[in-house]
Structures are given as C-alpha cells and as structure tokens.
C-alpha cells in the first residue's frame, strides 16, 4: 500500500441490528441470531433483520414516490449509506465515489415480476430499470446527491471486498479522495432458498447452531442465508476519525474444476492472503475473520490455505456466519465490521463451539477473507494504525 487509506465510518443493517453498541453486545453473546421461517410450506433456518428496522425500510418507501418501486437491496443500501456518510462527516452533494454491489441483485423484485409475467403474460413498466445490478449505486447516488463515479457489480460472495479493491485503486490513483463502498443483499426468498437446497449445501437440522461455520468435525453442509447491507467510507491519508486503516489488499481466482468448486487447499486464498500480507510480518497478524460459509469443502479448504500461509503459528480464527448466516454480497463488509470492532475493543470474538488457536493479548492487525462461486477470493488487512 503506497497510500494511507482510512476507514472513517462503517454502517450496517443486519440480524445484529444497526447501532454499533447493539451490534457489539450481540457479538459478545454466544447465541446465534438464526431462526426459522416458512418458505413454500417448509420451515427453513434463516437470519433476518430485526422487525424495528423493517419498519424503517417501510418508512423509507413512503419518503419518495420513486422509492416505492425499489427492491429491498436498494433501500437497505440507502439507509446504511445515509448513516455512514453522517458518521464520517460527509455532506450530501459532496464529491465521492460509490461502489456498492450485490451478489444476486434485486432478488425479491425480480421474482415478483417474473411471477406476474407467468400469471398474466405481462410485466410492469419499471421491471427492467428496478432489477438491474447498477440499481444500487445509482439510487444511493441519487439519494445522497453525490457527484463522483457510481459503480455496481456482482462478484458473488466477495462482492463487497471487490468494491474495496476497486475503491483503493481509485484512491491510490488520485482520481478520487473519498469512496463509499460495500454490499447489500436481501436473499430470503423461496426460490433462492430452493437454489441453495438444490446445491445440497443448506442447513437442514434444527439445533442450537444451525450453521456450523468452521466446525471441522461436522459431517454435513450447514450454510444458512441472512439478509444485510453494510457500507464503509474510505478516505485518502491519515484521519483522526479513522476506525482503522487498510494496510494490505490481495485477490486471486481459482482454476475451476466445477461451476461451484474451490480447490482442495484454496489456492485462490493462498494467493490473495500472500498478496495482502506481502509487507507484513506474519506474527503481527493476530486474527483472521474467515469467509467460512458453513460448507464442508468451503470451510476446510480455507483452513488449509491459512495453514499453508501461516504454518503452525496460526492467528486467532473466527467467522460470524454461525451467528448471522451468509449474507452473500454483503458478507465481506460485515467481516470488516467485526474486524474493526475487535480492534476497537481489543476483544476477540470467537465461535462458541471452536477453540481459538494461539490466544493473543492484543489485537494489532486483522486479516479479512471472502470468496464466492467462481473461486474469486479477496483478502484485506486492517489495523488501527497505518
């Protein structure tokens, strides 16, 4: 990293809530936030945002007649973006870039419009403009009246961290001084859950922890879906408001043997972590927030990759998917949020059913991982100081 990149604010809406204190208090508790809900007449484990926040989404729809037609991914992104720029001290109308992506995009709206088409043979006028992937950043820019570039993308479950990579490139090039980045996902629909069931990776058993993320003793896949949006404000240079600094970035893509495969020892993660850590002594990395989706192959391959990079002196390892499920395109930014909270409070948040290796007295640097279908891994290193 040739330029200091400060994270001056981070806002999120997730099953953890939206208030930083509330989010941290939830992390301190060893209980999952995964519950069950009926989808197509079948009880499914899912992680949902709190009812009170859903009321805020409904209120946002009423603010502007144009917002009534927007998908929940867009509304979640607007709410979190408003909070983030307020916390960073940015103003509406400022010049800053926006890169907020989604793995699946306007899932709820697309399925609604498609069902209407099946039933009537017709579709609504706004079907196309409200279901495009570019929908999120453009509407956030409209809401915040920003004057910088607007970028949206889908790079499956590493979407939010790819937004970070893109923003870092813009910031280090000098083409921008501030960037709003993140991901938004509202995937809790019957069709989406059916797709995960078809892949045979979804949790079925009702137990204390439906998602057994990073439980290397499990014998069945246990991924659970969650809904969330999370965005961060990035700025060039040292900043007194900084929650932390990005001190390394890495990325890589696996050579695929199957449409959803990842290599046995996650070559993509080995390369992305090595790139992010190239100027950092390994013993300075005190924790890793893993992608660890709760699948047999996903969890074990990432762990093998970490072992390849760090050897026997592993950092403390954790993931938040046992608590809030897998939020697809938003998950990488929620991982950064957990990393920043652990740095701020100097407290490691572990997994109730997993013993953390090599406990550390202090947390100096945290590595964050994300990967998705296509083997597109990203690793981001954050610290309290540059």
Could you give all domains of the chain from N- to C-terminal order, each with its CATH number?
5-236 (3.40.47.10), 245-383 (3.40.47.10)
pLDDT given for residue 254 in this prediction? 86
- Residue with tokens 């893993």, as numbered in its chain: 290
**CB-based contacts of 178, cutoff 8 Å, min separation 6:** 90, 94, 95, 96, 97, 148, 171, 233, 234, 235, 236
Q: How remote is the C-alpha of 375 from its chain's centroid?
A: 16
The set of residues, in sequence order, having a beta carbon less than 8 Å from that of 168 and lying 6+ positions away, is 1, 5, 234, 246, 249
Query: How large is the greatest C-alpha to C-alpha distance in the chain, in angstroms?
Result: 63
Q: Check whether 260 has a pLDDT greater than 90.
A: no
Q: What's residue 259's pLDDT? A: 54
Tell me the average pLDDT across 179-188. 98
- Determine whether 128 is exposed, middle or buried from the number of CB atoms within 10 Å of its CB (0-12, 13-18, 19+): exposed
Read off the pLDDT of residues 7-57 as tens digits, 9 standing for 90 and up: 999 999 999 999 999 999 999 999 999 999 999 888 999 999 999 999 999
**pLDDT tops 60 at residue 145:** yes
Report the alpha-carbon distance of residue 151 to residue 100 in Å, rounded: 7
| pLDDT for residue 316 is more than 60 | yes
Q: What is the pTM of this model?
A: 0.96
Average pLDDT over residues 176-192: 97
User: Does the pLDDT value for residue 143 go beyond 60?
Assistant: yes
For the residues 312-321, what does the mean pLDDT come to? 95
């Amino acid at each position: 990293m040739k330029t200091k990149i400060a994270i001056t604010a981070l806002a999120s809406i997730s099953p953890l809530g939206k208030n930083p204190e509330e989010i941290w208090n939830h992390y301190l508790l060893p209980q999952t936030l995964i519950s069950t809900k009926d989808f197509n007449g079948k009880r499914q484990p899912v992680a949902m945002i709190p009812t009170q926040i859903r009321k805020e989404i409904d209120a946002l729809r009423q603010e502007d007649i144009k917002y009534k037609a927007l998908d929940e991914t867009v509304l979640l992104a607007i709410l979190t973006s408003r909070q983030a720029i307020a916390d960073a001290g940015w103003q509406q109308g400022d010049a800053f870039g926006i890169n907020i992506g989604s793995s699946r995009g306007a899932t709820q709206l697309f399925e609604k419009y498609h069902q209407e088409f099946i039933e009537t043979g017709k579709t609504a006028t706004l079907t196309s403009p409200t279901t495009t992937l570019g929908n999120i950043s453009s509407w956030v820019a409209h809401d915040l009246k920003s004057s910088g570039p607007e970028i949206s993308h889908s790079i499956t479950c590493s979407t939010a961290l790819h937004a970070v990579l893109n923003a870092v490139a813009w910031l280090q090039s000098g083409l921008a001084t501030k960037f709003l980045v993140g991901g938004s996902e509202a995937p809790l629909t019957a069709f989406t859950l059916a797709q995960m069931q078809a892949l045979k990776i979804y949790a079925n058993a009702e137990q204390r922890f439906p998602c057994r993320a990073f439980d290397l003793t499990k014998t069945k896949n246990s991924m659970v879906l969650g809904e969330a949006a999370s965005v961060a404000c990035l700025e060039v240079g040292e900043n007194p408001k900084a929650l932390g600094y990005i001190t390394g970035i890495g990325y890589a893509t696996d050579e695929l043997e199957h449409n959803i495969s990842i290599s046995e020892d996650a070559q993509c993660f080995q390369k992305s972590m090595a790139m992010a850590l190239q100027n950092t002594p390994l013993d300075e990395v005190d924790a890793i927030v893993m992608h660890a989706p709760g699948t047999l192959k996903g969890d074990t391959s990432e762990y093998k990759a970490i072992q390849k990079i760090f050897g026997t002196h592993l950092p403390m390892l954790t993931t938040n998917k046992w608590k809030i499920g897998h939020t697809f395109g938003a998950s990488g930014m929620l991982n950064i949020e957990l990393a920043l909270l652990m740095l701020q409070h100097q407290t490691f948040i572990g997994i109730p059913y997993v013993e953390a290796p090599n406990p550390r007295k202090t947390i100096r640097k945290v590595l964050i991982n994300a990967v998705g279908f296509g083997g597109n891994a990203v690793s981001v290193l954050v610290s309290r100081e540059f």
